[in-house]
Structures are given as structure tokens and as C-alpha cells.
Amino acid sequence: MAPGRVIVFTGPSGVGKGTLLRSLLPNHPEIHLSISATTRQPRPGEVDGQHYYFKDRETFQSLIDAGEFLEWAEFAGNLYGTPRQPVVERVDAGDLVILEIELEGARQVRQTFPEAFQIFVMPPSLGILESRIRGRGQDSDEAIARRLARAEVEVAAADEFDLQITNGRLPQALEELESALFATI
């Protein structure tokens, strides 16, 4: 992989994207994780500026209007977006930047960064996905239902991505992710 690139990391909510990145990134300081903005309420333990920039809807809308987002999308009733400037600065400086975003955002990034390496994380099954979301214990029943409905649409689009990784056993998924990312850098 050439330096100064964007990596898009997509997959249904609850598939384990955050878990994979939390295992991967401490060993790879050369990869920078983009911090998104969202109108979603913080979950217990989430810190503003670390997990997300938490914004009210009006502020988020003004950031959209000002063109501050590289991409943004509505997901399960909340808005999510990638602040443009930090990503552009990192890429211009020759760094790798990873965007952990949903499907619509990934499609938008293909327009701006067509050379981005796009990875889709698959659940072993929708039943296992549901038990992971429930096991996380941080979403309401309504939020879980919306996430699962969206998951079916997202999984159906997995072929659009450069690489699909099934997160069954975590160590194996991590190994696949690492070897795919670092085979060429």
C-alpha cells in the first residue's frame, strides 16, 4: 500500500469493527483513526473528542452547510460525518488514515478518494450479529431493530468493497486484516 492513503473500514453495527481496530491500532502508530462527528447520544464510557465529537443536530447541520465533512450520512436516526480537514492534512503528509464508517459514507469516499482501500467486515450470520449487538448491551430495542434492518442492506453491498473479512474468531479476523493491510507497505 502506498503511503498517504485512506482506508475505509465498513460493516454492520455490532460486527466488531471497533473491537478489531482497538486490537490493531496500538501496534500500528503509523495508522491514524479519523474521529467522526455524530448527533447520537454518548454511550456510557464514550468521551467527546475521543470516540466521537458529539454535536446537536443544528450544529451538525451547520457543519454540513459549511462543507466541513468529507462524507456524512444518516444511520438509525442519527447523523454521522467525517471531518474533512484532518483527513486531508494527514493524507497530504503521507500518512495512513482509517475511516470507520457505514455504507453510504463509504460510497461517498469513493468519489473523493477513489484510490482508498475499502474493507468490509462481515458477520458470520445475522443471528450472531444480533447477539453481539445485544451482548454489547448499549442500544435500546428500537435502536437494535434499526441496526439489524440496516445490516441486511449493508451485507448485500459487501461485494462493492476491495476486501471482505468475516469476523468469526477474533484472532483469525485480526490476522487477515493485518496481512491484507501490511502485505504491500
Summarize as ranges the residues that interact with ligand ADP (CB under 6 A).
11, 13-19, 132, 135-136, 167, 170, 173
Distances (CA, A) of 175 to 21, 41, 100, 165: 12, 33, 18, 10
Is the separation of the CB atoms in 99 and 11 below 8 Å? Answer: no
73, 91, 116, 174: which one binds ligand 5GP (CB under 6 A): 73
Q: CB of 2: closest distance to ligand ADP in angstroms?
A: 27
- Which one of ligand ADP, ligand 5GP, none interacts with residue 39, CB within 5 to 8 A by kind? none
DSSP H or E stretch at residue 151: helix 141-156
Which of 91, 181 has the CB closer to ligand ADP? 181
Shortest separation between residue 73's beta carbon and ligand 5GP, angstroms = 4
- Strand 31-33 with 69-75, pairing: unpaired
Instruction: State which residue, 105 or 123, has the beta carbon closest to ligand 5GP.
Output: 105
Q: Which is nearer to ligand 5GP, 2 or 131 (CB)?
A: 131
Nearest Cα residue to 14 out of 113, 119, 145, 172: 145
Here the cell at position 61 is 447541520
Q: Which does 71 bind (CB under 5 to 8 A by kind): ligand ADP, ligand 5GP, none?
A: ligand 5GP
Comparing CB distances to ligand ADP, the nearer of 91 and 121 is 121
Q: Is residue 104 helix, strand or coil?
A: helix
Residues from 100 through 139 that contact ligand 5GP (CB under 6 A): 100-102, 104-105
Helices H, strands E: what count in the chain? 7, 9
